Structure 1
Amino acid sequence: MHPSPSAEAAVADELAVVRPDLAGAYEAALPGARAAVLSRLWRGLAHEPLPWVARREPTRGGLTVRLADGRLLHGPPADPYTTAAHVTEVLLDGRAHHRPAALMAALGVPHGDVFAAELDHGTASLALSRAGRPMAAPQPAASWEWEQRVVDGHPFHPNCRSRPGFSVAEQLAYGPEHRPLVRLGLVAVDDCLVRGEWPAWLWDGARPLIPVHPWQTAHVLAVPSQDGPVARPLMSLRTLALPEGGPHVKTAVSARLTSSVRDISVGSVRTSAVLSGFLTSIAARTGGLLHITRTLGAVSAHTPDLAAVLREPPDVYAVAATGERVVPVAALPLTGLPASASWLGSLARLALATGLRLLDLGVALEAHGQNLLVVLSSSGEPLRLVYRDLADIRVSPARLARHGIKAPDVAGRMVTDDERALRRKLFGSLVAGALASAAGSGPALRAALETAVRDLPRTPDVLALCEEPLPAKALTLMRLSPGRPGDLWARLPNPLDCAFAPAEP
């Protein structure tokens, strides 16, 4: 299935062939999927520094966005921290748009046609994901089960379920929300880069066996593979949990899911063991509040298209005998926990104290709701944190040196002493991402942060968190800026001010 102006109809046609029993549920899910994607898009239009936006004007009951060419967009109030699908229409010069792809196409901005196709595809894929959602299911026991409960994908990205290059059959076969079992392939490679301890069962004599995703085998690789183990896909789709509590295997999938192509760079494999050991030692300085899922082994055929990483499952950091469980922060709204102000405050206090401690030491985590997991007690209280996927952290040699810690030999893009870049990394992922999605709205996030920061020492990092606009990735701008590599940023109103008037671009 490729993005097209008729993606919703194309999915319906494919579904009629491969899973006709889901056709009715898919059709019923379309309006909600349109609203979910449109709400995310409106957040970007209302808050990101888009070059063709002249200014934003709060109005009675809504927000007006004046474009540089004089046209007007009008929609509902724009709390940038809400996760509710609250936008069902946006007016462009008085004409109502209910479909996000149609709105983006009508704007006629540079690169908007490609983004519109992604939105069209993502809306259809989201409806497909919702169509396969079980009406009732037992309470999950393992973290992978919680991951598969996250049906809607990224809570703030308009491309929350965009999977270009995946047919309907492939989405059903590989999407974690459809709860499939995925048969991995194994490719033997003569010339390989291996780091860590590559397990004995992944060797063919002197040649390492690289686990490969079946989508990658079908669409990218021109090499044969043998049958490997069956595994369960996690939130990221390309990372899968091996059975019986085995390690998680991160595979290369050379497709643009959400924003990024999900291959595995040669450099990340080369530094994987060093980075894992370094982060584990840094986490030990939190007094047991943070655990790192260690990288057990990594292998690359000297190409990002054929590589894999094995890492610990996060469940090893819960004491099952006492009823503890590990839940990704992205799945917390699905647990049925009360999400009261006191409970959210406890989560925010734990997350901020831990994240700020590492930032002071010299490590900024990419602690969004997928990378950050929380160990809950049998009664649901947040106890400890687990962090995984080390590829996007930032390391400050200057901060590390202040604590007598030697900087690791890692990729240059990870290394920076820029205070703004370090704070953007942590605050943008943890506060504007993980905690905002758990809270679900600006007022709830404000209450949680007020509780969390009350007892924090007033360091420069804490003052920046409390007093400056909150950084967040400009997810819409990034998709409309294909020639600009790296992250682009928006400055959101600080939730501690609880003032949701968007900043001028």
Structure 2
Amino acid sequence: MERVEPMPLGGDVARRADAHAAAPLLNCLIREVAQRCPGQGGRRVYRLPGGGRLLRVREGRRPADPEVYTAGAWQRVGHTDLVKLVAEELRRHTGLSNDELPAEMIDSRDAVAALLAARDRVAPPADPYLRSEQSLVTGHPYHPAPKARGGGPVASWLAYAPEAHARFPLVLLAVREDALVEEGDTAALDALGQAPPGYRLLPAHPWQLDLVGGDLAGAFADGRLLRLGTTAFDVWPTAAVRTVHAPAADPAPGADLFLKFSLDVRITNDVRRLWRHDLLKLRRTDTAAAGAIEAQDGPAAWLSDRGYRTAAFAFEELAVLVRDGLGGHVLPGATPLLAAALAEGFDGNPLDGPADPAVWWEAYLRQVVPPVLNAFARHGVVLEAHLQNSLVAVDTGGIPVQALFRDAEGVKLLPDVTRAAGWERLVYCLVVNHLTEVAAALVERHPDHDPWPAARREFARHDVPEIPRLLTSPTLPGKTNLLLRWTGADGADARYLPLPNPLSGP
């Protein structure tokens, strides 16, 4: 197991952490609250309506170098003061107070600092797929605290952080058979070790056990639960933090699979627990998503959430979900990459290489867009096709040849949600969260390339009743993560505000 210990942070790491943490917070403030004013000298100026103050930033999809106009001059604002500024503005804007979110913003920045320091002294994985999963140092570009880790000490979580290039063995527990609960295909778990008679294997994330360990003392004492040791191989945490990958190359039975665990830690908007209500509908949503993808004439794939296993006395706390590995899904010779990593950047990013951005982008659209639209229009399945739930496989030249989608927990089915609500969610996930970010990263490298005519053509060729309005509407739905967190909305909630629609055109 490769352990990464925290260490004192130098000035360079602190400055880099401030920049990484400020960018998504500024994005949220600008999208959800601020009012745009005429720019000055290459910088964008905004009025903060709560107090009428002026804020200016260096332009770009990751705004930087915030300044506030004070006493007749522009004054630089560090991350700590930016958090205070945002909190004061939101109190005036909403009439509500919130002590929790500012602490999360600071926690997120401090986590970034720890991650940057760790990355400076640990080699990234050689496999480009794992490297892409572990590249998200900034993370969600429109969340005020994308890297918060629950406020715990760095030492409690750094060894399990994907962004720190961690890898570690899982803890092997055994649960007595009369207390076992499972549904679906969980056979891969039994290959991870050897349970004694009358028991079944139940792997656990070590951070998960640290968080809930005291609550399990009674089950260990009376024999309902046994601790057997650890797996004979390491797993790699993916971008989702609580989901780990056991690659096919690992010399262990049952390798090449993903396992998703409960963590009683808030990461972005949600406490990342495997909730009972989600697990109980898992088979239905996964079956629908898998069927919608398999019915299509194309290379797209769905990584199935095969089933889950847990203990009746700790149903959510000890739940583990078994997900398909990459083998048997990725096209021969292709390399899967996390879509979010294309926007974030990593060593081996195919966006750094295309000689013709139009060819690359049209290939990307051909792989990503049709499966999502067809699943909705033909099967009533709303895939959560945002950047972190989408993989894009590329050929040896870096050209996209396949899209893979995952995470049944985020799938919505019609008529469980209305068609209008499902379409709004689809547009947000696919267009606002996904395509606009990858398009912006491409344009950063090729400023003369306009990606949106090709995107309009791709959407227009699909016979979906909602598409004509999509291509003429002046706005798209943008999720309000800052206001959602400030007002204490449910983690699964989604509220939208109108954003300019780059798809709208002739």
**Which TM-score tier does this pair reach, normalised by the shorter chain?**
0.7 to 0.9
CA distance in 1, matches of 2:476, 2:442: 12
Q: Give deviations 1:38-66, integer Å, cap 9, x for gaps.
A: 22222222222x5xx7x554445423224
Of 156, 159, 184, the residue aligned with 1:196 is 184
Give the Å deviation of 1:376. Answer: 1.0
Q: In structure 2, what is the equivalent of residue 11 of structure 1?
A: none
Letter in 1 for 2:65: T
Residue 314 of structure 1, CA deviation: 2.7
Q: Which runs of 5 or more structure 1 residues have no equivalent in the other structure?
A: 1-14, 398-414, 499-505
Specify whether residues 139 and 117 from structure 1 end up closer, same or farther in structure 2 by C-alpha distance, changes over 3 A only. Answer: closer
Matched, 1:227 2:229: yes
Q: Is the 8 A contact 2:301 2:404 kept in 1?
A: yes
Query: Which residue is equivalent to 1:62?
Result: 44
Aligned residue for 1:33? 17
> Quick one: distance in 2 between partners of 1:309 and 1:91?
47
Aligned pairs for 1:289-308 within 5 A:
289-302=299-312, 303-308=315-320
| 1:488 Cα offset (Å) | 1.9
Q: Secondary structure of the residue that 1:264 maps to in structure 2?
A: coil
Q: Does the CA contact (< 8 Å) of 2:242 and 2:262 recur in 1?
A: yes
Which residue, out of 143, 148, 153, partners 1:167? 153
Number of residue pairs matched? 450
State the alpha-carbon separation in 2 of the partners of residues 172 and 484 from structure 1.
Answer: 27
Cα 1:232–1:426 change in 2 (3 A) is same
Whichever residue aligns with residue 141 of structure 1, its letter is D
| 3-state DSSP of counterpart to 2:388 | coil
Partner of 1:113: 99
- TM-score, normalising length from structure 1? 0.81
**1:386 has 2:404 as partner:** yes
| TM superposition shift of 1:107 | 3.2
Asked if structure 1 preserves the Cα contact closer than 8 Å seen for 2:57 and 2:65, the reply is: no
Identical residues among aligned pairs (%): 24
Which of 241, 252, 265 is the matching residue for 2:245?
Answer: 241
Alpha-carbon offset, residue 237 of structure 1:
1.2
SS of structure 1 residue aligned to 2:494: coil
Give the letter aligned to residue 351 of structure 1: V
Q: Tell whether the 8 Å contact from 2:58 to 2:66 is kept in structure 1 after alignment.
A: no
Contact 1:351 1:385 in 2 (8 A): yes
Higher relative contact order (CA 8 A, sep 6+): 1
Inter-CA distance 462–289: structure 2 relative to 1 (3 Å threshold)? farther
What is residue 203 of structure 2 aligned with on the other side?
211
- Alpha-carbon offset, residue 483 of structure 1: 4.3
What SS is found at the alignment partner of 1:28? Answer: helix
What is the SS of the residue equivalent to 1:352?
helix
Equivalent residues of 1:315, 1:326 under 8 A apart? no
Code of the aligned partner of 2:417: T
Unpaired runs of 5+ in structure 2?
221-226
Contact 2:27 2:141 in 1 (8 A): no
Q: Cα gap change, 1:117/1:374 in structure 2, threshold over 3 Å: closer, same or farther?
A: same
TM-score of the aligned structures, taking structure 2 as reference length: 0.80
* Superposition CA RMSD, Å: 2.9
CA–CA distance in structure 1, aligned partners of residues 388 and 54 of structure 2: 33
Matched, 1:466 2:471: yes
Q: Matched residues in 1 for 2:261 and 2:463: separation?
A: 42
Structural mapping, 1:483-498, within 5 Å: 483=489, 486-496=493-503
What is the identity, as a one-letter code, of the residue corresponding to 1:336?
A: N
Q: Which of 65, 68, 88 does residue 91 from structure 1 map onto?
A: 68
- For 1:31 and 1:481, how far apart are their aligned partners in 2? 30
1:153 is the counterpart of 2:130: no
- CA, structure 1 residues 299+73, in 2 after alignment: closer, same or farther (shift >3 Å)? farther
